Amino acid sequence: MEEPEPPKQASRKRKKTSVRSAQHWMIVSSPENLRKTREHGFTMQGIKSRHRRRAEAIRPGDRILYYVTGRMAFGATVTVTSNMYEGHTPVWRSARRDEDYPWRVHIRPDLVPEEVDWVPAKALAYRLEYVRKWPPESWTLAFQGHLHQLPQKDFGLVEEELARLMKTRRSA
Look at residue 121 and give its three-state secondary structure.
helix
**Domain ranges (residues) in the chain:** 24-171
Question: Confidence band (pLDDT; 50, 70, 90) for 95?
Answer: confident
pLDDT at 96: 80
Read off the pLDDT of residues 63-74 as tens digits, 9 standing for 90 and up: 999 999 999 999
**Per-residue b/e over 52-81, b at no fewer than 16 CB within 10 Å?**
eebbeebeeebbbbbbbbeeebbbbbbbbe
- Show the 3-state SS of 47-84: ECHHHHHHHHHCCCCCEEEEEECCCCEEEEEEEECCCC
Q: What does the pLDDT average to over 40-54? A: 95
For 124-153, what is the mean pLDDT? 93
The span from the CA of 78 to the CA of 66, in Å, is 9
For 32, the enclosing helix (H) or strand (E) is helix 31-39
Other residues' Cβ atoms within 10 Å of the Cβ of residue 42 = 21
Confidence of residue 89 (pLDDT cuts 50, 70, 90): very high
Class of domain 24-171: alpha beta
